[in-house]
Amino acid sequence: MTKNCFILTGMSSAQDLLPLIVESSKKDETYVLIFDNFKSKSQFFNYDLMQIKNFIKETVKKNDGKIKNISIFGKSDEKLFQGWYVKTKPDYVFLQAINPKGQIWNPIFDNSKIILFSWHMDGTSDLIKSNQNIVLNIVRHKKELIYFGKDIPAWMNISKENQKKINSFKTKFYGNIRKLSLSHNPANTTLNLLNSLKSKKVCFIAEAHIRLGDIKYFKKSTGSCIDKLIKDLKKKDYYIVWKKREKGFPKKDYSPLDFCNEKPDLIIEQDIHYPSSLFAIPEISNLNIVINTSSCIFDLYDISKNTIMVLTTNESDREKKYLDLRYKDNGYAIYNLTNQNDYLSFLNTIKDIEITNLQSNEKEKSIEDVYEMIKKDVVK
């Protein structure tokens, strides 16, 4: 039995790590640390932390596990954490970022082995800058292995020296771990949500946030595009569930809904769900739409082939850049709603989706197997 410690700095990291928290809690001594010590990008700002603790405990209990302890550390709790760490001495620390932006003080795990769950290409920065003992780097999607391999894309502008350092770490892909949470027993919040959608024709929409620097491009067209989209979906009897992107406090980015008059039937602002609403709802929905470029398109398309991406501007250089580098030619359709012909093609695609209703049939490892594989890899 090992002592495992899981670090949560927001609901996104909580949702990424919960599948392995559940598995660890069945077999190993498991601790969860919630860090609410951010001056900016504070993802827990609008949450009741006791509600988060109870949510984690309930999720683990429903899957026959047991958490040793859940601790919360705030802005002035650095010494309290240091005392906890010296006393507990965890063998392994699972986390999503070594030095998250906006964190007032960074916890140091100098006597533990660290398992990093890289957030896309951002994980390269952690590997380059960190002096902590990272024994394993795990990517969310197979296509992200290229960011950590021997042929790192030139557009990432990483020096030869830093490429060598990145290559010195063991990086692996074990499958879509968050998707594997669908095999666990759902939390009551998720169960109630799914039951409420059973008799409905559901369209699940996941938004990408609109960055402050790009607001002038999106402001022109986003409102009219989304208003038209929502109206036409409702004409087709869709019940629209909209998942907002959680970026924390203070708010520096915008939701596409900030520019709209029309509203979805249900807006999810806080993802106190397990499995995450980003996985549980797309699995049962008739149609999944991602608004503008977001990596969640890979997860939704992995869950259901009834997934498409729509764009609400054609003027943002940043959107164009990442559309070409990351999002094109991955199987799903992409439509720019500012273009009338594209919009008509989008409506025709919806017709096809309603008829085919294709689901992904790719074989996956079990979450139990993935947990055991990770343990074996870090012991080597």
Residue 360 reports pLDDT greater than 60: no
CA-wise closest residue to 245 among 237, 255, 257, 235? 255
Outline where the chain has alpha helix (H): 11-27, 49-62, 78-88, 123-129, 160-167, 188-197, 215-235, 277-284, 296-303, 317-322, 340-356, 367-379
CB atoms within 10 A of CB 91: 15
Q: Residue 313: which pLDDT band, with cuts at 50, 70 and 90?
A: confident
Structure tokens at 287: 């149609």
pLDDT reported for residue 348: 85
Question: What is residue 359's predicted lDDT score, i.e. its pLDDT?
Answer: 53
Given pLDDT bands bounded at 50, 70 and 90, which one contains residue 363?
A: low
Across the range 326-331, mean pLDDT stands at 87
Confidence (pTM): 0.91
Give the count of beta carbons closer than 10 Å to the beta carbon of residue 156. Answer: 13
The alpha-carbon radius of gyration of the chain (Å, integer) is 21
Q: Which residue reads 């100098």 in tokens? A: 110
Q: How confident is the model over 117-150, as pLDDT tens digits?
A: 998 888 999 999 888 899 999 999 998 999 999 9
The whole-angstrom separation of Cα 55 and Cα 51 is 6
Residue 18, φ and ψ in degrees, nearest 5: -55, -40
- Residue 140 is predicted with a pLDDT of 92
Q: Are 65 and 59 in contact (CB under 8 A)?
A: no
Domains of the chain as residue ranges with CATH: 3-175+365-379 (3.40.50.11720), 184-356 (3.40.50)
Q: What is the mean pLDDT of the chain?
A: 90
Distance CA 125, CA 101 (A): 12
Q: What is the percentage of the chain residues whose pLDDT exceeds 70?
A: 95
Nearest to 289 by CA among 362, 343, 363, 216: 343
Provide the pLDDT for residue 45.
78
- DSSP notation for 169-234: S-EE--S-TTGGGGGSPPPHHHHHHHHHHTTS-EEEEEEPPBPGGGHHHHHHHHHHHHHHHHHHHH
Band of pLDDT at residue 349, cut at 50, 70 and 90 = confident
pLDDT score, position 76: 96
User: Residues 50-108: pLDDT tens digits?
Assistant: 999 999 999 999 999 999 999 999 999 999 999 999 999 999 999 998 888 889 999 99
User: What's the average model confidence in pLDDT over 302-310?
Assistant: 92
As a whole number of angstroms, the distance between CA 245 and CA 255 comes to: 8
Cβ-proximal residues to 108 (8 Å cutoff; 6+ apart), any chain: 85, 132
Q: How many helices (H) and strands (E) are present in the chain, helices listed first? A: 12, 13
What pLDDT is attached to residue 366?
Answer: 92
